[in-house]
Copies of this chain bind each other. A is one copy, B any other.
Amino acid sequence: MKTYTLAELADQFKLTLENCHHPETVISGVGTLQNAGLGRVTFLENKSYLKYLQNTKASAVILSEQHKSNSNVPVLISKNPYVSYAKIAELFNHRSLPEAGIHSTAVIGKNCEIHESARIGAYCVVGDYCKIGPECCLYPHVTLYDEVILGNRVIIHSGAIIGSDGFGNAHTGTHWLKVPQLGRVVIGSDVEIGANTTIDRGAVEDTVIEDGVRLDNLIQVAHNVRIGAHTAIAACVAIAGSTKIGKYCLIGGATSISGHLEICDQVMIGGMSAVIKSIHQPGVYAGPPVAQKKMDWQKMTVRMRHLQDLFQRVENLEKKLRDENGHS
């Protein structure tokens, strides 16, 4: 395992080392504020963790200028502590990628173009006419149907299914007729797709995931969806067909988005939201219900069912008072 001194880290990542008597302190890994010990560097990003800063036993903390005075240990000052942490943590990353090249158990279809630097894990299945760009990484058990196009450096986690048929069914009056799904899935560069996420092929045109998008686990992307560049979507989000999501959006986990909507750039949607209308203004949106004590919730539910009555009763009261005042 490689090690680095605090001075080397500060120098390599252009951080300011302060509050430090021993810049030659050896760092051999990263840790959390609560549990990092000697030889570990940690970081402060989420303010709710500020309470752990004072007692940290780490050898150094990456943080922003404004928090340096709260630290009793050496600090590495960064304008973006989480980014600096990510880069330093990468130095100590011992995880193995799938083996370079195509694993002997992978099944590759006809007429594929797979860059020699791509990594295709065990039991991956790649359909016909797929393109897989340089430095892509498919973890084991990824399935690409036919005509899935990946740019460069795309990471796909195990169990993800890309290019399955969209949910196209025409009702004849007595039964469903399958509507052929003729589009492709086109994925840009620097995209990461989580475990067991599903992305359906387009019905006529393509389903498109633009550059730099991050999709977490167990997400459903229906046919003809377009997700704009650098948008990040947390786990268990369901996006229905033909919806277009803009660039630089942030969508919280377990949110559902109806079909045929447009969500503009730079929209942040809280977790567990239900989006049933297009959003044309950048901003922060939310709409989760809130779990509460069951009895309170039951009362509230009853009350909500009587809400219309209440409006009527208030109207009656207002009318009565107006009448009285008119009479008086």
Interface residues of A (CB under 8 A from B): 29-32, 35, 46, 48, 80, 82-83, 85-87, 89-90, 92-96, 105, 107, 109, 121-123, 125, 127-128, 139-141, 143, 145-146, 155, 157-159, 161, 164-165, 167-182, 190, 192, 194-196, 198, 200, 204-205, 212, 214, 216-218, 220, 222, 230, 232, 234-236, 238, 240, 253-256, 258, 260, 269-277, 283-294, 297-301, 303-308, 310-311, 313-314, 317-318, 320-321
A31, B203: Cα distance in complex, Å = 9
With both chains docked as a complex, state the minimum distance between the C-beta of A111 and any C-beta of chain B, in angstroms. Answer: 11
For A293, give its contact among B127, B176, B283 (CB under 8 Å). Answer: B283
B220 touches A220 (CB 8 A): no
**Cross-chain contact A271 with B240 (CB below 8 angstroms):** yes
Q: A167-B234, A190-B175, A235-B238 are in contact. Are A141 and B139 (CB under 8 A)?
A: no
A17–B289 alpha-carbon span in the complex (Å): 49
Collect the chain B residues with CB atoms within 8 Å of residue A90's CB. 180
Residues from chain B with a CB closer than 8 A to the CB of A291 are 255, 269-270, 273-276, 285-287
Question: In the complex, what residues of B have CB within 8 A of residue A287's CB?
Answer: 289-292, 297
A286 touches B290 (CB 8 A): no
B182 touches A158 (CB 8 A): no
12 sample A-B contacts, Cβ–Cβ < 8 Å, listed by A number: A46-B260, A48-B260, A164-B194, A175-B190, A176-B212, A196-B198, A198-B235, A235-B240, A286-B297, A287-B292, A317-B321, A320-B321
Q: A230-B175, A232-B176, A314-B314 are contacts. A86–B170 as well, Cβ < 8 Å?
A: yes
In the complex, are the beta carbons of A145 and B139 less than 8 A apart? yes
List 7 A-B pairs, minimum CB-CB distance, nearest first: A287-B291, A254-B256, A273-B291, A161-B195, A164-B195, A236-B238, A82-B170
Tell me whether A182 and B235 are in contact (CB under 8 A): no
Query: Is B170 a contact partner of A83 (Cβ separation < 8 A)?
Result: yes
- Interface residues of chain A: helix, strand, loop or mixed (majority): loop
Q: Give chain B residues whose Cβ lies under 8 Å from the Cβ of A167.
A: 194, 214, 216-217, 234-235
- Are B141 and A143 in contact, CB atoms less than 8 angstroms apart? yes
B residues less than 8 Å from A173 (CB atoms): 80
- Contacts A86-B177, A194-B198 given: A220-B217 contact, CB under 8 Å? yes
B177/A83 in contact, CB under 8 A = yes
A83 and B276 contacting across the interface, CB-CB below 8 Å: no
In the assembled complex, the CB of A184 is this many whole angstroms from the nearest CB of chain B, namely 10
Cβ-defined contact, A140 with B159, below 8 A: no
Q: A182-B93, A218-B198 are in contact. Are A276 and B285 (CB under 8 A)?
A: no
Given A95-B181, A140-B125; A293-B285 close (CB under 8 Å): yes
Q: Are B180 and A93 in contact (CB under 8 A)?
A: yes
